[in-house]
Chain A
């Protein structure tokens, strides 16, 4: 019988393992996006602070994460920290920490950009009607800024989902790695295995990322009015 390449996907527990890998990928990505966004909003507010010291520290933090590749961060936290401090963290936890910190840095910049793009008269009008500092942010600035930062934030989120494939270097088995295991196991007998496995992984990533773009479109349309 002709051995169809697609059959690789249905051997043993292959599908189940790919879905488990997807769960790892999605879990790390979404936890990091949530933590990173929360921290990032704080960062963004700090970035608009008048204090030069705070601005410098925030700027340094952002540049550090922007300049040093995420892979290097994963290595520093996973391999470097244990040998320096004797603290052992699971690869998954390390991944969430690194991706959250990265998310916070980039999200902070997006929030700052959105806040600074608001016309100055918004702040002045808010102050004029007697709003407190927090009231000004709560009722005037943040609602408007959120709308402006949405495209950037969604873009960052999908980037974070895709970058999670680096975690394999610190021993976390994600959906891409499981895919490679399946391909390498079967490639001599089924040369087309990679096509089918990567095809499925493509669809799985699409399933994660597409709802994000959809959500952003919906929110943008809703807030348009």
Chain B
């Protein structure tokens, strides 16, 4: 009997606790809704503070990483600095908040950052939680193959073995659209790349940005098909409802498009990692608009 009482006590404590937490949660959402109505100008607030807080990665080269001297570097950081320069007059007036992929949405929701520039892929699920600006980058599938036997079109793959990673967009894309191409599936990136080196398949399909960087470091291989399948876009994100900053970012991307700034960012940060042979047009989106 005593044990049953104890178990019941613990169970009810847990129920009460969950109730309290849920209460906090719903309170939070109603208050954010309230904030939206009476929202102070977000840009004015940034100007008053004197710095813009931008969330970037610290361990995802070449997009956002920390160099040997502890400085933030990379494609996203390059663009973030320019945003700060155009909004606040000086590119040093940006405070980089180092974010993790898994908590990017929370950083925005809790006002810990004004803007996220962390290789943030636009998805429908994320759109419900944050507001995405227009894209500055795109990713698609690519196909890498040895220089001696290059694969430059999907037709060449028919009846041959193609290496893919389990659970990636590459696997779904080829299974759905090209059932007559035989797929060799691996769990880990390293295994898949080793298999390509051992010539177990004629080519390997993966996200094109990853393939560019890999082909650059592994001589004898080239990304024969640079862009394939449905395009995903990568865009800056602001807190849900922060239309003022969102409009500013979109206008800024358009202005930067006139001077081909994203291409400059590509040349400065991605080109050293991807090499000369890659067409920047496969990655860069200029002016916030897909062509």
A: which residues have CB within 8 A of B?
Answer: 11-14, 17, 56, 59-60, 63-64, 67, 75-76, 78-80, 82-84, 88, 168-171, 173, 177-178, 180-185, 188-189
Q: Please state if A12 and B68 are interface contacts (CB–CB under 8 Å).
A: yes
Inside 8 A of B67's CB, which chain A residues have their CB? Answer: 12, 185
Inside 8 A of B280's CB, which chain A residues have their CB? Answer: none
A63: contacting residue among B13, B32, B106, CB under 8 A = B13
Q: Please state if A17 and B111 are interface contacts (CB–CB under 8 Å).
A: no
Tell me, yes or no, whether B183 is within 8 Å of chain A by CB: no
Shortest B290–chain A CB gap in Å is: 29
7 contacts between A and B (CB under 8 A): A84-B24, A171-B98, A171-B100, A177-B59, A177-B98, A183-B59, A185-B65
Q: Please state if B59 and A13 are interface contacts (CB–CB under 8 Å).
A: no
Interface string of B47-85 (1 = CB under 8 A from A): 000000000001111000111111000000000000000
B111: contacting residue among A11, A59, A88, A182, CB under 8 A = A88
Secondary structure at the A interface, as helix, strand, loop or mixed, is helix
Shortest B128–chain A CB gap in Å is: 16
Q: Please state if B61 and A184 are interface contacts (CB–CB under 8 Å).
A: yes
Inside 8 A of A59's CB, which chain B residues have their CB? Answer: 9, 13
Q: Which of B9, B103, B217 has the most A CB atoms < 10 Å from its CB? A: B103
Inside 8 A of B159's CB, which chain A residues have their CB? Answer: none
Kindly state the separation between the CA atoms of A78 and B110 in the bound complex, as whole angstroms: 8
A56-B9, A169-B100, A171-B98 known; A80 vs B25 contact (CB < 8 Å): yes
B97: contacting residue among A76, A171, A189, CB under 8 A = A171
Q: Please state if A80 and B98 are interface contacts (CB–CB under 8 Å).
A: no
Q: Please state if A83 and B98 are interface contacts (CB–CB under 8 Å).
A: no
Tell me, yes or no, whether B39 is within 8 Å of chain A by CB: no
Inside 8 A of B109's CB, which chain A residues have their CB? Answer: 79, 83
Interface string of B197-225 (1 = CB under 8 A from A): 00000000000000001000100000000
Shortest A186–chain B CB gap in Å is: 8
Inside 8 A of B69's CB, which chain A residues have their CB? Answer: 12-13
Shortest B21–chain A CB gap in Å is: 7
Tell me, yes or no, whether B126 is within 8 Å of chain A by CB: no
